[in-house]
């Protein structure tokens, strides 16, 4: 799935339908959120003292992020819960454009 205006709208509508855009969980303001246009990939590593080597495969969870327009709180949502897009069994390569 590639980011596009259609995906933006689909993600926004899914977050809204689940009540995730009602009020900020940090400042409790309900005056709005921005959706960062793109995906974030959270790497899954087994040993935090040994970071991934560039070019080696790692698993990752795709997420989307909203920003509270009042306080700037960033909130991540797993794509599996938003649009049913789960992390791939195929690994992502660190430090590459794959």
- Per-residue pLDDT at 37: 92
Say what the pTM is.
0.75
d(CA 90, CA 87): 8
- Per-residue pLDDT at 66: 95
Per the CB < 8 A criterion, the answer to whether 74 and 67 are in contact is yes
- Per-residue pLDDT at 89: 45
When pLDDT is cut at 50, 70 and 90, the band that residue 61 belongs to is: confident
Tokens of 54: 């560039």
Distance set, CA 56 to CA 52, 87, 90 (Å): 7, 17, 12
């Amino acid at each position: 799935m590639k980011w596009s205006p259609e995906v933006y709208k689909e993600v926004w509508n899914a977050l809204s339908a689940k009540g995730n855009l009602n009020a900020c969980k940090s400042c409790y303001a309900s005056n709005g959120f921005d959706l960062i246009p793109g995906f974030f990939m959270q790497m899954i590593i087994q040993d935090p003292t040994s970071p991934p080597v560039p070019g080696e495969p790692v698993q990752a969870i795709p997420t989307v992020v909203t920003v509270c327009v009042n306080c700037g709180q960033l909130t991540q949502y797993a794509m599996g819960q938003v649009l049913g897009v789960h992390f791939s069994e195929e690994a992502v390569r660190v430090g590459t454009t794959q």
